[in-house]
Amino acid sequence: MAFDLDHFAETSIPVKYEDLDFDTFESQPLDDQTLRSLRYMCDVEFHTSCFLRDMLVTPSHREEDTGGFMTMWNREEFWHGEALSMVLARHGIVVDYDELKAKRVKLGWSNALGPLKQSVMSNLAGTDFVAVHMVWGAANELSAVAAYRRLSALTDHPALSPLLKRIAQQETRHVAFYTTQGRDRLEASPTAQKIVRLVMSRAWKPVGSGMMEESEVKHVMGHLFGGQPRELDKLDKRVQKLPGLDDLTIFRNAFARLGIA
């Protein structure tokens, strides 16, 4: 089914949490492991403007559907970050504008050179590079959905669990866009299939890897997916459905590199 940008844009709404009783965090505070994972997720959501920045230096931004999607996606992810920051605030953890700025500044060169790397690669690969973005985005959003659902199930908290499920549900809209776009572009170009296969098998890492310390990536991914090989296989199967990617196991491989079975 063709992507309906206007429908997507008109149905883009904030994740709802005003009906959830956040006072339950006083009587049932979250444990440290959960808070650490939540902090990771919150940082990744708020980092979307940097992911957007990297995509905007490629041909992606000139396409109406992609540009429109990125506009709505950027806002939806921001709202997710806000919701998670409210939960963290209930536990004395501050994620305000100054904290976010500090995080971004302290990423230093690796963050500053992000757009430059993307621009060089897209100049070399041309419009086929958009396929890389779409499949990369699909993999990231698939793992985000799985992560939110895992954490929701692990914590079983009256306020947090429904909030995480709602965020996961919104993320499925993003999965649908990226997957559809990725499929269309891969079907249209054998060259794109080769480029995407190469990049995904060599370079893809779990969402947040470029901006979080490796120790945090290991900790959070271990917390959520340690001892859950079937979850990783399910994610790999979703990616394998895309043209030209039929035997890729990017999730299994990436988690194995982290030492997470």
Partner 1 sequence: MAIGSAVGTGRRAAPETAPGAQQTGQFVGHLHLDETISPVVRTDFDVAAYAKRGTERIVVDSSQRAADGPLPAELRTTLGVLHRLEASALAESRAMLATSTGHEARITAFFATWLVERFWQSRALRDVLAGGDPASVTDAADTSEHRSALHPLHALRRVHVDRVQPLLSPLWGIVTGEGVTAGHMARMAIQEASLQAALVAVSRQLDGEAQRVVDRVAERHDAAVGFFTAEAITRITRSRGEAISARAVLALSSPLHGGGLADAQLITALRVIGADTRDRAALRRARFEITRLLPGPDLAGGLPFPRPLKGA
Residues that bind partner 1 (CB under 8 A): 6, 9-10, 12-14, 22-23, 26, 29, 32, 35-36, 39, 46, 49-50, 52-53, 56-57, 61-62, 64, 67-68, 70-72, 74-75, 78-79, 82, 85-86, 88-106, 112-113, 115-116, 118-120, 123, 215-216
- Residue 3: closest CA among 141, 127, 185: 185
Q: Which of 101, 120, 5 is nearest to 54 (CA)?
A: 120
Residues 189, 204: contact at Cβ < 8 Å?
no
Complex with partner 1: residue 53 or 238, whichever CB lies closer: 53
Cα first-last separation, the chain: 36
Nearest approach in angstroms of CB 222 to partner 1 is: 14
Closest approach, Cβ 35 to partner 1, in A, equals 5
101 versus 257: smaller Cβ distance to partner 1: 101
Nearer CB in complex with partner 1: 9/261: 9
Q: How far is the CB of 159 from partner 1 (least distance, A)?
A: 13
How far is the C-alpha of 90 from the C-alpha of 71, rounded, in Å? Answer: 30
Q: Are 142 and 178 in contact (CB under 8 A)?
A: no
Minimum distance, C-beta of residue 92 to partner 1, in the bound complex (Å): 4
- Cβ-based nearer residue to partner 1, 5 or 176: 5
Residue 52's contacts (CB-CB under 8 Å, 6 or more residues apart) are: 70, 73, 74
